Structure 1
Amino acid sequence: MEETVQVLEKVPIINFSHLHHDSVTKQIHEACRNFGFFHVMNHGISDSVIEEALNVNSNFFGLPMAMKEEFNSDDIQKPVRFSRLQIGCHENEMLSRDFLKLYAHPLHQFVNLWPSNPLNYREKMGIYATEVRKLGIELFGAIMESLNLSPTYLKQIFEQGMQVIGINSYPPCLGSSVKTGIAEHTDHSIITILLQSSPGLHIMDRSDGTWKSIRKIKGSLEVIVGDHLETISNGLYKSVLHRAIPSSNNCTRLTIANLHSLGMDDIVEPAAKLVDEEHPKGYRGSSLRDYLGHLSSKDATPFNHKIKI
């Protein structure tokens, strides 16, 4: 990851306050189809809720390791899991990060399993998770509408579906051969709503096949197209390949990713309206549990490749 990376210019910015205007529906369509990514502004989540979510997670990762060990597990299906990950990338490079995963919906079912230290962790993250879920439901309806589907398509199933929060802490690089970051991947979600404390997100630019960095826009959240939206759209919207770069300063970078999906065992298939003779069904039905089983198998083939027909 030592190559020079240009900033992606003209990144789509969606004004949430105009969400159901025809012009915004068209913007969402173009953003999902051409980039697999967009910023969302005026999303209604207050600066204080966002700052408190970042602060309590910064405080959690700053705890002594012994206090985080109770959540340490290699079981990827656990609803709360902490890990210090080191994963090979390329050219013998290792990428490291601290990672906390939280299941968040229904909130009352999981919140008491979350860390209780810092003392206000469950309260502050519960508020943030609830606010982001509301945003996710609104965005999902608008994205369905951008596919010329009904804005209520799959709405009830989506509202009852999974919300998984992945929190990553990237401490500064200190000259070690182990860098902080995360290797290229797609998200196995319908959409992911990302909050980042500082820049560091790269996406693969489809126009020229090169990595581009994404500016952090004050007040924005980032929306990422996931594998299951690719399936629902029958390939019209492709999940975006993205990664996090190593820290280049003395600050720890923190990200909070809300991954929104259908239920664990709900089968996701291409929308029937998007399948015809000219556009045959391109993906097998699959569930989030199928994906977790794939992860457990250690099969290196990307899951979205395995479900393509």
Structure 2
Amino acid sequence: MGSNETFTENEEAPTYAPWIPVPNVQELVREDPLQVPQRYVREPENRPEVTDMSHLSSLVPVIDLSLLLLGNKEELNKLDLACQDWGFFQVVNHGVAKELLQKMKDAAAEFFELPLEEKNKYAMPSDDIQGYGHAYVVSEEQMLDWSDALILVVHPSHYRKLKFWPNSPTGLQEIIEEYSNAIRKVATELFQSLSLIMGMDKEALLGLHKQLVQGYRVNYYPPCSKPDQVLGISPHSDSSTITILMQDNDVCGLQLKHNNEWVPVNPIPDALVVNVGDIIEMWSNGKYKSIEHRAVANDNKARVSYATFLYPHEEAEIEPLNHMIDPKTKQQIYKTVKYGDYLRNSMKRKLEGKAHTEMAKVETLA
């Protein structure tokens, strides 16, 4: 990423957080499609609501990246409002070839169809979250999510732990590489526009990262015989700068919290879903919102989602930008934190809304 890559390739690939091994959900369903073990059954108040909020899905902002790249004022204004009001938007005309999106989906689907012993060759070690398994499992009593995942750090390349990159199906590694490069290009273009709406020159945001780091998580949500009692992923906000998600075109599952309602983000074919992460919220001193979101299961179809997390180098100091603090009140919501400390703190806890952001808040406001 040019001049902001100030760290050397001698750096060791970081480890992030320990976790406790738990059963493979896909295998549970294979063995008995009707079985839903008690550890997955949510308390009634935490279950997906029966009320259908899908009529609100069409209100989730849609941003045209090709217009942003032209500096279109109207589209920049839409981006500004999307980050303030929703913390989420869908991106169209993003330049990633439809064929590449499909290739990624096909290869990942093939990986998850492999026998468990084959996938377990890439199992997460107990002291880190790269590999195949489950992250954010920190206690034996914890309620579990109805999903399995493959998690990799893809950029910079010396952070990769290639023993966790599946070489089956053939070509999957190359497809992940090609897809990740294309998504990183979209991210850097979005950073330029986000820099502008945050009152900076367009390369500023990328520079604040010290070095752009990119993680990739493919989530597999098997069908569930009692989808109204489980969650695919617990409510949380992302500890990234931004997250870029590719959804299946025909299976809904992602929901975001808006005005205390859970709004489904229905897929737009070939669009990418982008959400503001905690780091943009911190840099903007709370102007732009890192919103809670979750995934729900359904009873007849598996769903796969493909999340790319863009975040700063772990030595980067994160704090509200001076010009984003209201000059009248001078009230600073967030204090200065080292990104690596913030990330590890969030990964050592279960997913629980925005509870993990408290460590970065100024005490008087916590």
- Specify the SS of the correspondent of 1:66: helix
Q: Is the 8 A contact 2:244 2:307 kept in 1?
A: yes
Normalization by structure 2: what TM-score?
0.76
* Match in the other structure for 1:264: 314
Aligned mate of 1:16, from 29, 45, 65: 65
Q: What's the CA shift for 1:18? A: 0.4
d(CA) in 2 for partners of 1:36, 1:45: 22
Q: Is the 8 A contact 2:282 2:319 kept in 1?
A: yes
| 1:132-166 deviation digits (Å, cap 9, x = unpaired) | 00000110111121122221213235483210111
Aligned mate of 2:254, from 201, 205, 228: 201
Please identify the structure whose Cα radius of gyration is greater.
2
d(CA) in 1 for partners of 2:136, 2:304: 17
Aligned residues: 302
d(CA) in 2 for partners of 1:67, 1:98: 15
- Specify the SS of the correspondent of 1:14: strand
The reply to whether residue 59 of structure 1 matches residue 110 of structure 2 is yes
Q: Is the 8 A contact 1:76 1:296 kept in 2?
A: no
- Specify the SS of the correspondent of 2:305: strand
Alignment of 1:88-99 (within 5 A): 94-99=144-149
Q: What's the CA shift for 1:273? A: 1.5
Q: What's the CA shift for 1:4? A: 1.7
**Unmatched segments (≥5 aa) in structure 2:** 1-47
Aligned mate of 2:154, from 104, 107, 112: 104
* Match in the other structure for 1:162: 213
Alignment of 1:90-169 (within 5 A): 94-107=144-157, 110=160, 112-113=162-163, 114-158=165-209, 160-169=211-220
CA RMSD between the two structures: 2.5
Instruction: From the superposition, tell whether residues 214 and 234 of structure 1 become closer, same or farther in structure 2 (CA, over 3 Å).
Output: same
d(CA) in 1 for partners of 2:122, 2:277: 27
Q: What's the CA shift for 1:243? A: 0.4
| 1:98-148 deviation digits (Å, cap 9, x = unpaired) | 111110102365274411111111111110000000000110111121122
- Specify the SS of the correspondent of 1:24: helix
Higher strand share: 1
The reply to whether residue 3 of structure 1 matches residue 50 of structure 2 is yes
Greater shift after overlay, 62-71 or 250-259?
62-71
- Specify the SS of the correspondent of 2:194: helix
d(CA) in 1 for partners of 2:273, 2:200: 23
- Specify the SS of the correspondent of 1:184: strand
* 2:217 maps to amino acid: G
d(CA) in 1 for partners of 2:182, 2:161: 15
**Unmatched segments (≥5 aa) in structure 1:** none
* 2:357 maps to amino acid: N
Normalization by structure 1: what TM-score?
0.89
Instruction: From the superposition, tell whether residues 298 and 164 of structure 1 become closer, same or farther in structure 2 (CA, over 3 Å).
Output: same
